[in-house]
Amino acid sequence: MRELFVTGQFKKDLSKVPDFVRDETDLIARKLRVDPIDKKLGVKKLIQITPSVWRVRIGSYRLIYIFDKDSINLFRIRHRKDVYRNL
């Protein structure tokens, strides 16, 4: 199981999302620790961004993260219209 890290910006974003998104984010983060590219979660790799950045849909919100063999870093969780700005 990978170690989970969150950025300060992720914490700030998380405080602004609805409660159901926070609850779902917690469940998804646990599943990502086991398998960060689980297709059942709707995981997709964002193209033309280096290093590899991945996203998961949570309703109208998107969780943006990267991972390696030992850890997962959660970067952003915002509404789909705003999340891809300034990546």
Strand pairing partners for 3?
A: 71
Pick the more confident residue, 48 or 13. 13
What fold, for 3-79? YaeB-like fold (3.30.2310)
Provide the pLDDT for residue 79.
96
pLDDT surpasses 80 at 87: no
pTM for the model: 0.92
List, for residues 24-77, the tens digit of each pLDDT value: 999 999 999 999 999 899 999 998 777 889 999 999 999 999 999 999 999 999
Domain boundaries, the chain: 3-79
CA distance 71 to 86: 23
Q: Which of 2, 75, 56 is nearest to 33 (CA)?
A: 2
